[in-house]
Structure 1
């Protein structure tokens, strides 16, 4: 157990390791030897310290190896723990109070979200902490006076609100090349691109009036070439025709099977009611087959 290596890992800055990586490194350093800096923490112990799954724990250890904070001496196997060497490039020093003050001052001066920070804008000094309720009331009165004077509420932190109107971000007017105004059936808001052409009227063919062709969907006040609600678009019409054709084929097959079963049942009923007729028909069939075999050119005809 090495308390020194664990403390060194605990004081690493945030730009070097993340919280999960720091916890994993602290556990590996806690299980290391002071002289050799070799550690056998075990995956279960590291997972318990970090509080993640097995795959995520393996990924964190690999990230520490990539950063040069640890290195694998022996790979873990079933029944044998992996061996790591902590800080193979050298053990950093534990920072002093002055080093920590410098680090925290730089972190406090930096923006919380660099992507949203405006260049060239310095952060305002933090407000003086309120000691009593009178300080809070005085601050609220000052904000009310600023609002009445039209100055706005000045608070600490990043500047809020829109910039001055003298320097607008978006140039006035509509951009060139885009449709002017609102298209048909638009929400009457900002100018946008034209919506779907499904509501546009269907242009008739040159001979539509003479041939009496329908002009789109007749169920609407404004005829449309495609109507999903009325199923008048070409794709829906083709699908409907295909369904009707398939249903007609299935119905014809069902009719054929029903007729076939009816004929078969009728033949069985005749055989059951009149067995003498069935026997006579069989006798006639045997005689016809015998005559066919004995006829010239039949199966039993003498060879020429």
Structure 2
């Protein structure tokens, strides 16, 4: 492991190596010896460090060899790792703070996209935009190009002002002169016999296609007044639900009245309530005795009443 070589590789500028190449170089330096600068990183460790496929990893190693940052000493084979020498042309120095500040200042001043850098050539003033095709013809003649006639491919129309003949167009239906004083052609009437045609889903849901018979004049839709079959079914369901609710309320009201009457009797005649309670207890006792006699024993389940 060589920390010194790895730090040197980490400080290489971006115009020398990109991020992926720097990661691969740092891994090779991490596995290198300080004196001989020989490294055996292994393809699996190198792939895990960089995070690329094996084919891409070998391509990155070849790019580093082309840049002169490493060189192959031994080619890897099955069961044997490849051997690389790091910085065969010499180990570059570690940059100081002043060198880093100068590098960052130059990078900030450089254009973001080098392909759009126009600092090497003087930019001419923008030309005046062409207003008509005559301006285009003048520029074409100045550039030594031919001038073609401007206009449509099928030919330009004539310059006479009477392209549209004055007067009313012929061939249209005559409109209603009373409703349309300017004799605007009227549109054909609707094909439906009703004032407004029925809804498209009227036949599917069982609605009348000729209008509601409860109206003196058939209408196309009667949902507002509730005279169509759908509204009638909804009203019937609502009436049944309302009747059920009233029946439940009446039963609950009668039950509450009976309960209040029983409480009132218990408060007014407590001796009758006590007599009824004693009679109920006597009837229960007689019932248990009859069941015991029918079972043939004195115990509660027909067996003996006691014993070990």
Q: TM-score range by the shorter chain?
A: 0.3 to 0.5
| TM-score, length-scaled by structure 2 | 0.43
| TM-score, length-scaled by structure 1 | 0.43
Higher Rg? 2
